[in-house]
Structure 1
């Protein structure tokens, strides 16, 4: 009898411990936050309300800053789309694996990311469902497809941009109707690839920003029961300048902020594009709340680099997209982690887009250092559990070749010309607009910073590709029905 009772106790103990173990795993699963990264394309530093914009309302982006933390020294790893996104997506400085310039020929398999881990694939290994929406720009071969690079679900386009309406839209007047009458220039070769869901082309009939928002919401609805990572990679406000007429009407050209070098008409349409993106972000955040996910979802917002000279306002920064000045590398960057980040706090110390991946992996239970990531887990800083600056120094390799200028920021000082040429040194604390080169009066600092950059750059890699053939056609199944599809001859 005693033996039977003991057996019962053992069985009950096993069942109870199994229940408790399962419960603890479930609890751990619940505490790991969902992670959403929203990335704008070519957005100016001063084109968001909380950063000082007066002519383009961005209430939903501003709400993230009001309810979270806004960084004034948020940086990306490159001042052009491809290199910056390669750095963000891999969590590594892109010059360390040879990604120096944009993919100019989307069907050239040499151009784009090599087979390597991404933030998405690292989060997959931690049990996250990973989704991406919008712009890829990391290559189009089977090995470079988002589904092969860590994204369980991808809705978007693989080129460097996309027209904001379907190619048969009346406003295009047949310009993109097959067959192609002549070889396409780089931009339109990129911008006329199809919208795809994973490896299938999809039909769409509305303004692109709205289409991408809808896709992001579908991902949330489908994966709400699992910890997830969602990369919302908006096309806006990247050229071409296109927006719904009723939205453009909200931004009369004569009411727009006067920005040197920007035509009022261009600023009007650009304003409408930013507004449409902000509206989409608002819808996405509202759905997160409706699904009961808001308290356990971290939301980041940033631009992939500075805005373009002909559309954007990067003031008070100098320079724009493509520049080694602050206007090319410093971007709006915000994070909201409910119950963790303080509300409405502005942080001035340097952070980088590389930190987003490292922090996300740490939140998911992974080890950024073990994964070889170059960013830092900045949870202590962004929650203000620690006021210590995450970085004492940041490095860049700008331009499209190994011999391009190096850039280093060390404390308040920034040196342009780490590798070659006559260096320019700026004290950003006193001269945020980089107007006064103080290199001549600080020769020892210049020498030390230059030597430090040279040491950092010792292991940069040769370019993944040099030139690029302007290939017009490919035979990918996801291209079927598109003007660039051509089956291989039998």
Structure 2
């Protein structure tokens, strides 16, 4: 029987790093193109960006092992926060979170779609290391994250953390795959890639809200339900450090904001009539509706952070906010090219902020290139957990950079999706799109990836292509498409 719920890199002395300055200029330029009310909001965000200083570790401070609150937005684009340049979206809570810690300008997801990025975050490895990570994204109920594979949660639980995942899992379905089979003590959320926000009907038309492995009946707006459950979790009387993965579905389609009950009812009608693409909501949505959903996500994060403060744990809780991939069709990605599913910057560069009051100073900006598996390696080190030697990490811990002012070693960031490939080394990015042409871009000068330097830099192109090939040779091949 379902349960019943009673009725939320630089460290130089210059005032701004090169890309932080570019972001501030882009924000100002975007502001000039909109009306007065939106311009005023964006102008305030631009002023806050201008106050940021290049990242520098606060050495010599100590604290206990942190609680970890890792929050994921779903299909949230790189510039969808006002602090990242959106002229028409107001995100005061996420902007404040960034001001209280570090805002990363060059942070990336582990892949260009939902489930492979989640594989990379949970395992700290490229999605192509595991069979389930080859799905882009998972739709087949027979594949998922192998319960025997070590995860961020299982490794932290092994050193004394309590672990919970609230929200979207999207790494496999019951009976074989579940967060509680992969290291999380608790799970409350949905298994699939999308659901209708009120009815909780998923892509297959089945009800998809669970507590543990049992269905849980709650027909309120999903973002409200997740926010409430996450707030309850952080307000508990915890007797040991904890990890909470809070995975919102907002602002993923369908384009339904809180209160849109008529739109919800129409999509439910279509689902029940057998329309297998009803949730994609291809005939719905708008920039205005998308803005409502992002601003609701911001309010929801704010509620959880208020609960964290009330709990007395704010100082010793490390909070990371990021997105699982780039934005969809209503997202504001300027000046990046591409969207979700693409390995252009707009498909993989994501807003990312980190706050840890006990150890990391606020009002900082970092242009260090990082991606999802780096967060896994970082959180394991800070939590005192060692990776499993049989499953070596592809991410690099940022703990030395964040806490000891250690200059990170230059390394490559690697991505692969069907039909596309990309690799970033320093400011340079190697990219091959679906047309099969190798391209080379200098992201310091050309975030928009329009000035192809392949002909001018053949040696560099060859080096980066060879590096991509070496990494790719160690990954599982994609299965043949039938």
Q: Normalising TM by the smaller chain, what interval? A: 0.7 to 0.9
2:384 aligned with 1:365, yes or no? Answer: yes
2:445 alignment partner in structure 1: 430
1:282-293 alignment to 2 at 5 Å? 282-293=302-313
CA drift of 1:297 comes to 0.2
Q: Which whole-Å deviations, capped at 9, do the CAs of 1:96-138 have from their partners, x for residues lacking one?
A: 22422235535x32x2222311111111101100000111111
Q: 1:236 aligns with which of 250, 260, 269?
A: 250
- Output the CA distance in 2 between the equivalents of 1:104 and 1:246: 28
Large movers: runs of 4+ above 4 Å: 262-265, 465-468
Picking from 287, 291, 295, the partner of 1:271 is 291
Q: Distance between the aligned counterparts of 2:345 and 2:362, measured in 1?
A: 26
- Per the alignment, do residues 392 and 426 of structure 1 end up closer, same or farther by CA in structure 2, a change over 3 Å counting? same
Partner of 1:215: 229
CA, structure 1 residues 202+124, in 2 after alignment: closer, same or farther (shift >3 Å)?
same
Distance 1:199 1:365 in 2: 29
Shift of 1:247: 12
The answer to whether the aligner puts 1:306 opposite 2:293 as a matched pair is no
TM-score by length of 1: 0.77
Contact persistence 1:38–1:302 (CA under 8 A): yes
CA deviation vs aligned residue, 1:276-298 (integer Å, no higher than 9, x gap): 11111111111111111001100
Q: What residue number does 1:46 align with?
A: 79
1:373 and 1:422 mapped to 2: Cα distance?
Answer: 30
CA distance in 1, matches of 2:245, 2:169: 10
Cα distance in 2 for residues equivalent to 1:264 and 1:196? 27
Report the 3-state secondary structure (helix = DSSP H, G, I; strand = E; otherwise coil) of the residue aligned with 2:136.
Answer: coil
Match of 1:354 in 2: 373
* Inter-partner Cα distance in structure 1 for 2:246 and 2:285: 28
Correspondence for 2:184: 151
Q: Distance in 2 between matches of 1:246 and 1:145?
A: 31
Residue in structure 2 matched with residue 114 of structure 1 by the alignment:
146
- Between structure 1 and structure 2, the one with the greater Rg is 1
- In the alignment, what sits opposite 2:468? 453
Question: Residue 153 of structure 2 contacts residue 184 of structure 2 at CA under 8 Å; is this kept in 1?
Answer: yes
Deviation at 1:141, TM superposition (A): 2.9
How many angstroms apart in 2 are the aligned matches of 1:410 and 1:120?
30
Q: Is the Cα contact below 8 Å between 2:113 and 2:137 reproduced in 1? A: no
**Counterpart position of 1:441:** 456
Distance across 2 between alignment mates of 1:105 and 1:265: 23
Residues 264 and 49 (structure 1), Cα distance of their counterparts in 2 relative to 1, 3 Å cut: farther
For normalisation by structure 2, the TM-score amounts to 0.78
1:35 deviation in Å?
Answer: 0.3
Q: In the TM superposition, what is the alpha-carbon distance from 1:398 to its structure 2 partner? A: 2.0
5+ residue gaps, structure 2, are 1-62, 263-281
Residues 103 and 66 of structure 1, relative CA distance in 2, 3 Å threshold: closer
Secondary structure at 1:460's aligned position in 2? coil
Secondary structure in 1 matching 2:170: coil
Task: Please name the residue that 1:201 is paired with.
Answer: 215
| Displacement of 1:41 | 0.4
1:392 is aligned to 411
> Counterpart of 1:447 in 2: which secondary structure?
helix
CA RMSD of aligned residues (A): 2.6
Distance 1:348 1:44 in 2: 17
> Residues 347-386 of structure 1, C-alpha deviation per residue, up to 9 Å, x if partnerless?
0111111111111111111224746222122023234x32
Q: Report deviation, 1:163.
A: 0.8
Q: Which residue of 2 aligns with 1:61?
A: 94
SS across alignment from 2:70: strand
Contact 2:80 2:89 (C-alpha < 8 Å) held by counterparts: yes
Say whether the 8 Å CA contact 2:199–2:207 is kept in structure 1: no
Query: CA offset at residue 459 of structure 1?
Result: 0.9
Of 214-223 and 365-374, more deviation after overlay is shown by: 365-374
Alpha-carbon separation, structure 2, partners of 1:87 and 1:407: 16
